[in-house]
Amino acid sequence: VCNENSLFKSLSRYLVRRKDPELWASVLLESNPYRRPLIDQVVQTALSETQDPEEVSVTVKAFMTADLPNELIELLEKIVLDNSVFSEHRYLQELLILTGIKGDRTRVMGFINRLDNYDAPDIANIAIRNELFDEAFAIFRKFDVNTSPVQVLIEHIGNLDRAYEFAERCNEPAVWSQLAKAHFQNGMVKDAIDSYIKADDPSSYMQVVQAANTSGNWEDFVKYFQMARKKARESYVETELIFVLAKTNRLAELEEFINGPNNAHIQQVGDRCYDEKMYEAAKLLYNNVSNFGRLASTLVHLGEYQAAVDGARKANSTRTWKEVCFACVDGKEFRLAQMCGLHIVVHADELEELINYYQDRGYFEELITMLEAAL
């Protein structure tokens, strides 16, 4: 009767109040020629008038069972967005967003921005599974779960520029740390270092050391290791800080550091500097640990022959005396060479090598003078 007389408003009220799933199923069949005008009245009139949660629940379930996502969106918009008594209903808000994801993706962002009583992590993860990455980002950002939106930008949207802008806006250490890891994975070493510094996060120092040795851009790493040393006073970190100071020729800072309390392996860094021909830094380091043999060798390379002789005297090693002596001969510092030679000639098995070194270079008079002094 209602259908024949277009009494769809009355029929819609009746259906809502009856709360009969089977009756709903019969009127929502696709074969029903009056379905569209009936749905219009359910949306516009019947549900707007009710304050009974069960009536709303049965109606919503009926539309879901009939697989009418677009019509369900209309229904839920009327209930949730038009300031009804059910506007703040959590389940209905979530259902509206999820139905939008299923039925009309273009409207999901609007729902996300207007609604605020839904399970943000769950809805965002569903959005991600449906490849609605910007919508997931918007949800996380709206609810201030800042490590999650930056993760969406990095892992799903793949836009590190947007991730950087977001990190700057929220300026949270955990966000900067996530961005730093992404920078490393993309070979953006300098950006990674800057992000770790902003995060005040020294946890990836092993990876940073490896990157420093690979890239060779040592200037980029000074501030990182200074930050890392303040946060984690570990021997490894302090050792690498010394080496970075040496590589960047910050010798005054290096000297101040090693003269203060520290847990660094200074001898180890000295050897690395020596091997890389960074003799000024090696000189400071060997002097600090009183390794006079290596100090003398370093001073020879610097052409500081008198200081090298003094170092050899403190080391009092035949090997060191020979090294300094031969270096002084090559540098034509024969007075200093003689001082060293006098400590060598007393060892009969070393004498032949010493004599040959002078003779092979044509320094016969200097050799005679040294041998006479030894008598």
Q: Write down the pLDDT at residue 344.
A: 95
The answer to whether residue 160 scores a pLDDT higher than 90 is yes
Apex CA 231: angle with CA 225 and CA 237, to 5°? 40
CA distance 194 to 241: 16
pLDDT band at 151 (very low <50, low <70, confident <90, very high): very high
Q: Write down the pLDDT at residue 152.
A: 95
* Exposure string for 261-297, b = 16+ CB within 10 A, e = fewer: ebebbbeebbbbbbeeebbebbbbbbbbbebbbbbbb
Is the CB of residue 182 less than 8 Å from the CB of residue 205? no
Residue 136, CA atoms < 13 Å, CB-side half-sphere:
23
pLDDT average, residue stretch 129-143: 94
CA distance 193 to 191: 5
Is the CB of residue 111 less than 8 Å from the CB of residue 117? no
User: Is 291-375 in the same CATH topology as 146-201?
Assistant: yes
Phi and psi at residue 202, to the nearest 5°: -95, 5
pLDDT average, residue stretch 14-33: 90
Whether domain 146-201 has CATH 1.10.10: the reply is no
The answer to whether residue 8 scores a pLDDT higher than 60 is yes
Q: Write down the pLDDT at residue 82.
A: 82
> What is the chain's mean pLDDT, rounded?
91
Domain-wise residue ranges, the chain: 146-201, 204-289, 291-375
Is the CB of residue 73 less than 8 Å from the CB of residue 104? yes
The answer to whether residue 33 scores a pLDDT higher than 90 is no
Q: Write down the pLDDT at residue 7.
A: 67
pLDDT average, residue stretch 359-366: 95
Q: Write down the pLDDT at residue 44.
A: 87
The answer to whether residue 315 scores a pLDDT higher than 90 is yes
Q: Write down the pLDDT at residue 5.
A: 45
User: In three state form, how does the secondary structure of 174-241 look?
Assistant: HHHHHHHHHHHHCCCHHHHHHHHHHHCCCCCHHHHHHHHHHHCCHHHHHHHHHHHHHHCCCHHHHHHH
Domain 291-375 fold? 1.25.40
Pairwise pLDDT comparison (297 vs 84), residue with the higher score: 297
The class of domain 204-289 in CATH terms is mainly alpha
Instruction: Specify the pTM.
Output: 0.76
Of 2-11, 173-182, 230-239, the one with minimum mean pLDDT is 2-11
Contacts of 191 by beta carbon, 8 Å cutoff, 6+ apart: 160, 164, 180, 183
Token pair 């000297």: residue: 255
Q: Write down the pLDDT at residue 4.
A: 52
pLDDT in tens, 175-227: 999 999 999 999 899 999 999 999 999 988 888 888 888 877 788 889 999 99
The answer to whether residue 62 scores a pLDDT higher than 90 is yes
The answer to whether residue 288 scores a pLDDT higher than 90 is yes
Percent of the chain with pLDDT over 70: 98
pLDDT average, residue stretch 257-283: 96
CA distance 202 to 185: 17
